[in-house]
Structure 1
Amino acid sequence: SKEGLFTEVIKMMIDKYLEEINEALSIGETAKDKMLSLVKFFKDLLSNNPGLFKLLYDFTGLAMWSSSFNSLLKDLFNDLSKMIEEKILSNSALGDNFKSYSPRAVARMILGAMFGTGIQVILDSNENEILDALNAIQIIFE
């Protein structure tokens, strides 16, 4: 069935994202190092494999209309937030402006900022400044 095929493609994409982001978050010793590695991963993905990023957005849009796809994408975003929380935020000192927020909330903000910035890069690939905006995520440590 068409839905079964889409489900398998989504699962393959999810596995690829989780594996590669987990690998990126394993690089470096400090929280800042790990954050820089995550930023580098997203920059490289947007520069070298924008199709994979576009696929994620296509499936995310589909998940808003289909309950069977919804749970797959919801789980992906939950898993990615949890990775960021555990590998970056659990042992780091957040900046004063972020100390009143839970690590889970900050992890979701980081993920949202990265994916939102990714959309802007895809829509305006000639604007290098947008890609550099990913570096601003380091502000959470200040």
Structure 2
Amino acid sequence: MENQFYNLSARTPRGKELPMSDFKGKAVLVVNTATQCGLTPQFEGLELLHEKYKDHGLVILGFPCDQFMGQEPESNETLEEVCKVNHGVSFQLTEKCDVNGANTHPIFKYLKNELGGFLGSKIKWNFTKFLVGKNGKPYKRYSPITKPEAIEKDIQKLLK
């Protein structure tokens, strides 16, 4: 049976379709991001993971979200440039999306359903992270305050 994760897709900030099926056989770290958050320094740790493991099968997808105190003021047109210049981000970003409420992005709807959190399935803040295995099966959810380097052992396990 085809894994449901691979039936989903996102769009890049420029509107290009980004099917999750493109990532079959890779571990995927899905993160809701924001450029003006107290946790924004996590971009650096995420970028380090990206650089270290991208050639070993890790994909990091940053989903910019403005649902938490307006901490993502950038537009789809400026997101990539601001993240690259200000935070050194070279991993894939998507267009801005909602992670809670009526317009929750389908990827977050699926991941929250599969891996509930402290507040049930609701995302409580920016930089909530979901690690998906190489088989497309959601593996683990991490709180916003979990630093990217704390996820490294799980990434290594999934990349074996």
Larger-Rg structure: 1
Q: With structure 2 as the length reference, what TM-score do the two structures score?
A: 0.28
Q: With structure 1 as the length reference, what TM-score do the two structures score?
A: 0.31
Higher strand proportion (structure 1 or 2): 2
Higher helix proportion (structure 1 or 2): 1
| Larger RCO (CA under 8 A, 6+ residues apart) | 2
